[in-house]
């Protein structure tokens, strides 16, 4: 099992450009999440999904969009990139809401200049 | 608002020198408290889940405990390979977790 796979690993964007961060999981988990982690800080929830076709905002959703058309995939879209979006982005999945641990990918390191 | 505070921010130990990391939390309706380990350039890796006050979990040199207000991660006789950032998170509903800022542990040989 690959677990949670994120692509790309690194990306540099210019201000105003757009991009999609890809995330796929092979554990048949219903719940998926996007977090961002700034240097020396914990993880902040951007968006999450409790199943295909259902998404909801987390703590820091501004400037991002998501979709969930399949159980496996949960892409994160950045529109009009800004320097404040420079961060490391982690995708995670879990088996359910009943106190299930999160399984993380290895992150995408994004720099906006 | 749910809050998770970890201390200290950084901890440097000599190999074999035992210590504890603290995670204090303020939440309504705790469903679980989680400890994760994060190595540089990697995603967090799950260590433990604690559900209720008084519960303890152990894995090798690590032991996690939980009270109504805080959790401790005790590290006994640490080795250099235990060096990492340890993250604490609380889960309240819909599987959403709130994370602390982490404690970066460095164990010197």
Q: Where are chain B's structural domains?
A: 3-108
User: Collapsing DSSP states into helix, strand and coil, what is residue A83?
Assistant: helix
Cα B45 from chain centre: 11
Per-residue pLDDT tens over the stretch B52-69 = 999 999 999 999 999 999
Q: Which run of H or of E encompasses B2?
A: none
Q: Which run of H or of E encompasses A62?
A: none
Interface of A with B in 60-89 (CB under 8 A): none
Average pLDDT, integer, range A35-50 = 92
- The confidence score (pLDDT) of residue A98 equals 66
In chain A, how many domains are there? Answer: 1
Sequence-ordered list of residues with C-beta below 8 angstroms from that of A39, at least 6 positions apart, any chain: none
Q: State whether B96 and A96 contact (CB < 8 Å).
A: no
Q: Which residues of B touch A68 (CB under 8 A)?
A: none
Average pLDDT, integer, range A80-84 = 95
Specify whether the CB–CB gap between A33 and A51 falls below 8 A: no
**When comparing pLDDT for B2 and A47, which is higher?**
A47
Banded model confidence at residue B94, pLDDT cuts 50, 70, 90 = low
Interface test with B, best of A43, A60, A94 (most B CBs within 10 A): A43
Q: How far is A61 from chain B (nearest CA, A)?
A: 14
Interchain CB contact of A2 with B (< 8 Å): no
Domain that holds residue A67: 4-112
CATH architecture of B3-108: Sandwich (2.60)
Whose CA is closest to B88, among B26, B36, B19, B21?
B36
Share above pLDDT 90 across residues of chain A, in percent, rounded to a whole number: 88
Per-residue pLDDT tens over the stretch A44-58 = 999 999 999 999 999
């Amino acid at each position: 099992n690959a677990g949670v796979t994120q692509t790309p690993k690194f990306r540099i964007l210019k201000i105003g450009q757009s991009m999609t961060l890809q995330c796929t999981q092979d554990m048949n988990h219903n719940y998926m999440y996007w977090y961002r982690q700034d240097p020396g800080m914990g993880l902040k929830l951007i968006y999450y999904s409790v199943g295909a076709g259902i998404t909801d905002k987390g703590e820091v959703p501004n400037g991002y969009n998501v979709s969930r058309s399949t159980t496996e995939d949960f892409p994160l879209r950045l529109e009009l990139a800004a320097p404040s979006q420079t961060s490391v982005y982690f995708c995670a999945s879990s088996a359910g809401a009943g106190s299930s641990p999160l399984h993380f990918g290895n992150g995408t390191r994004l720099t906006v200049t | 608002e749910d809050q998770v505070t970890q201390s200290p921010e950084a901890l440097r130990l000599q190999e074999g020198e035992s210590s504890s990391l603290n995670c204090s939390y303020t939440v309504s309706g705790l469903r679980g408290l989680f400890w994760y380990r994060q190595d540089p350039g990697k995603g967090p890796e799950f260590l433990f889940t604690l559900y209720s006050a008084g519960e303890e979990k152990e894995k090798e040199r690590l032991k996690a405990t939980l009270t109504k207000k805080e959790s401790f991660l005790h590290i006994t006789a640490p080795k250099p390979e235990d060096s990492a950032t340890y993250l604490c998170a609380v889960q309240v509903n819909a599987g959403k977790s709130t994370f602390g800022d982490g404690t970066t542990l460095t164990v010197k040989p």
